[in-house]
Structure formats: C-alpha cells, structure tokens
Structure 1
C-alpha cells in the first residue's frame, strides 16, 4: 500500500512541478512579435524611405498628406494596437533604455524599453506598440543606458502616457542584464 501511495504521490508531484515550470517559462520574443498582424503587414508593404529631402516629409507638421504611403506611415507610427495573448506573460526581449525615473543614487528605476538606440529622443518615436514601459528596475546605473539590455519580466497590455511617448505595453522587470552578442 505504501509503495502504491508513494508512486502515486511522486506522479502527482512530478506533474505539479512540470506544470509549474511550464507556467513560469519565459518566452524570448522580438519586437515585431508585439505588433498585430495588420500593422506588421502594412509596415512590410511600405515603399523605401527616400532620404534626399526633395519631397516633403510625412513627419512634418505642415505635411499636406497627398502621398498615400505617408498616411499609412502615420497610422503605423501611431498604432497602439496590442496582441492580447501577451497580456500577463513572462517574456524576455532585447532593447534600449530611455530613463524616466531615478532613485536617490541616480539609478534608473523606470524606463521605456525601445527597439533601437535614440528612440523617443528623436522624432518621431516608435509607435506605442513598439514601446514598453518598464518598472521595478534596480541597480541600473544611468551611465549604462547607451548599451542594449535583455529585459525579463511579466508584460501586460496596460498603456502608459508620458511626455516623451506613449507605450501600449507595460512590464514589471524581474531581470535586467546587459545584452551580449
């Protein structure tokens, strides 16, 4: 009787541990994974951007909007559409840090995570669904922000508005580590 009970208990324990490990798995994602399919298709269908400055830029305030591709660019750059399947999921994503708040030792405690260096500083910022508001960082020195980082934590579809930009996703950081390649 004892052997059958211990075998059954061991089986239940193994199943619980397997479920627990599965439930807490961290999925490494790319930035495009956060874009809904219609946004990604529109982005992929965009023509090459001309850098010759002979044509008015769709990013200028006084742009008349005659170019249909410029209207699509504007829609993509303002998209706050999220993928609900990522709500409350543990993820790991690489990116660059745009500091928002500091502690008394000037360590960054909250920041925007963005896909490329200089985003949110230069105009235009990435679309909201390509910006993640991250809180809970610790021991992240302000002089380290010029390097890319891996951020691991639980992502949500909670949006945040800030003077620098709007984020369609938020994350509570479990781990912040320098990106190595």
Structure 2
C-alpha cells in the first residue's frame, strides 16, 4: 500500500478507534431555565453514517499503486470525498442527544455561540477533519459558558441535515442546541 493510501486508511482507522465510547441508556436532560423535560433520541456517531456508505470506497476506486505522498490530486480527491460524505436524511428534524468533543468556532467573552461537535479527540484541530457526516455544526440560541476546545459534552437539540463549511472543516449536520452538558459515561 502506497504512503498516501496508508495515511488515509490510518486516519480512518484512528478515527474509528477513537470514537466516543458506546453509551447504553438514553437520557432526558432538563432544558436550562425550565422545569419541562424533553425527550431526546440518543445517537451514537455511527448513526450519522448512511448504511452502505464507506469512506474506503473512494480509495478502492483510485489506483493505489500509482498514488504517493506528493500526489496532490489524490489528496484533493480524498478530501472532496470526505467533505461530500452523505448524511442520514431520516435524522432531519429529529430531537437528539449526542456525545462529542468541542471544536470552538464563534466565541466572545468566554461564551460559545457556535462550535463543531466531533467524535474523537483532536479532530479538526490536531488531525485532518473527519468525513462531513462525522461533524455536527452546533448553534446555540443562548451562548454556552465555560467550554474549551476538546471538552467532552452531551449536546441535545434538533438535528438538521445541512452541510456547512467552516475554517475547521465541513459539517454534514447542524444541531440547534437546547442543552450542552458535561459528558458522563453510562455506569451500571
């Protein structure tokens, strides 16, 4: 396997291994400033990937024997494939809860109004962005205080299948967030 193919496959394997740990129970967090409880469908990152879609498919379509680390056309083809990764249309408009790592986008006075939610530590910051269907653009009507890059949180709200380009990566989903809470893994 040539170096660029090996790097792309290694990035994919690394991202798969670093996904958030599975969480067994769905929760119903309270909305900030409200006594009402809203029911959220708890998602895991693999739920955001359409059945049958494989990021490795693009690699198999290329001629791996002809690709090397300096092949900018191959790098661009892979990035384009990941940036256009398909979403699960049935999730559009669903009220969901998803764990992930915070990648700040819009911050003012220690408050975030926009951030990306990603499945593994370092995504978009210390490593190339994952496929678009593994990046959620989070919009907060009321800015969230106290979040830093790579904090692990639960984000709850209404999910939309909407592609958005940012300086940190292309997201395939947008979440209009109701609540952002520290991540606490399920314990029996």
TM-score for both structures, normalised by structure 1: 0.66
**Is the CA contact 1:57–1:63 (under 8 Å) kept in the aligned structure 2?**
no
Equivalent position of 1:87 in the other structure: 92
- Measured against aligned partners, the alpha-carbon deviations of 1:116-169 in whole angstroms (never above 9, x if no partner) come to 111111342101110000011533324x43331000000001111112211110
Distance in 2 of aligned mates of 1:169 and 1:110: 13
Equivalent position of 2:104 in the other structure: 99
Change (3 A) 1:162 1:146: closer
SS of the equivalent of 1:39 reads coil
Equivalent position of 2:165 in the other structure: 161
Pair member with larger Rg = 1
Equivalent position of 1:15 in the other structure: none
Q: How big is the shift at 1:171?
A: 0.7
Q: How many residues align?
A: 142
Q: Which has the higher helix share?
A: 1
Distance in 2 of aligned mates of 1:158 and 1:180: 28
**Is the CA contact 1:109–1:140 (under 8 Å) kept in the aligned structure 2?**
no
**Is the CA contact 1:134–1:171 (under 8 Å) kept in the aligned structure 2?**
yes
1:149 pairs with 129, 150, 153, which one?
153
**Is the CA contact 1:39–1:76 (under 8 Å) kept in the aligned structure 2?**
no
Unaligned runs of 5+ in 2: 1-37, 60-64
**Is the CA contact 2:83–2:170 (under 8 Å) kept in the aligned structure 1?**
no
Change (3 A) 1:56 1:113: farther
Unaligned runs of 5+ in 1: 1-23, 47-54
**Is the CA contact 2:111–2:143 (under 8 Å) kept in the aligned structure 1?**
yes
Matched, 1:124 2:133: no
